[in-house]
Amino acid sequence: MPVWWRSIPLLPAICLLALFFVGPIFWAFYGSFTNMALTGPHAQSVDFVGLDNYFRLAADPAFPLALWLTIVFVVTSAIIGQNVLGMVIAVLLLKASKGVAAVTRTIVVLTWILPELVAAFVTYAYFNKDGTFNQILAMVGIRGVDWLFNVPMLAIILGNTWRGTAFSMMVYQAALGGVSTDLTEAAMIDGANARQRYFRVVLPIIRGTVGTNTMLITLQTLAVFTLIWVVTAGGPLNASTTLPVLAYQQAFKFGDIGYGTAIAAVMLLVGAAFAVIYVRTLRPGRLSS
């Protein structure tokens, strides 16, 4: 049987992938080279402008700030926050009693299944000037501040970490559960303490899972929009404007679709850069301990 014949059952999946994934990517890059607009004369008559939108990005003071905030948001909220906290909870759940583990797992997962809009309202209610966090501080005699004005990115990072940690916890809990106890017991007999058993035995075994999980939550965090828009709307003074928020503002608030898609194209490139790093890390030769 020819090789191409065996690929026929995959055609529906390939067509759907091309329609809903590859198609929008090509449209985004095409739109970034035009003066496409939401309203006005360029909404009907679109002209090819070449690299003009990218030259505008290079001269726009809001763009390097948005790019930097996006990287900070991804690194702190996903690569560090969700990864580390998810791993810590997963390790603790393995040592906890069944009742404690069940209650903890339920509470953590509930935050993950919340719609992003609801999680955004909860984050806003917790960190605003008269919110829950400042009320807790007042109970112990500490004067709170307007977190969403003074440190908006910190509030957003903590909110996104709180919401997304459950995914990492479930992934790592499954991976840790698959580690043979014979290996850890052998290391214990050889005199390894708990820290040494984790870093020298357990972590190398689940290294592939760590890399895969990091890639997934990185790409997911890179596209976070609703949480940021509801909590701060990118403010104050662009202090929490990431690339998705900047693209939305330019494309739909100011009606400049071409410029907005140029920002989206850059965001795709940033995501591709993270993906390439993770794919190279996940190569079989690099996963050997």
pTM for this prediction: 0.85
Q: Give the CA radius of gyration of the chain.
A: 23
All domains of the chain in start order, with CATH:
62-286 (1.10.3720.10)
- 3-state SS class at 131: coil
For residue 3, is pLDDT > 70?
no
Long-range Cβ contact pairs of 267-272 (< 8 A, separation 24 or more): 267/70, 267/222, 267/223, 267/243, 268/25, 268/28, 268/29, 270/67, 270/70, 270/71, 270/222, 270/243, 271/219, 271/222, 271/223
pLDDT at 226: 92
pLDDT (tens digit, 9 = 90+) per residue, 42-51?
A: 777 888 888 9
Can you say how many angstroms the Cα of residue 267 is from the centroid of all Cα atoms in its chain?
Answer: 12
pLDDT (tens digit, 9 = 90+) per residue, 239-283?
A: 999 999 999 999 888 888 999 999 999 988 888 888 888 877 766
pLDDT (tens digit, 9 = 90+) per residue, 86-131?
A: 999 888 888 887 888 888 888 888 877 888 888 899 999 999 988 8
- Give the mean pLDDT of the chain: 86
What the block records as the tokens of 138 is: 């007042």
For residue 287, is pLDDT > 50?
no
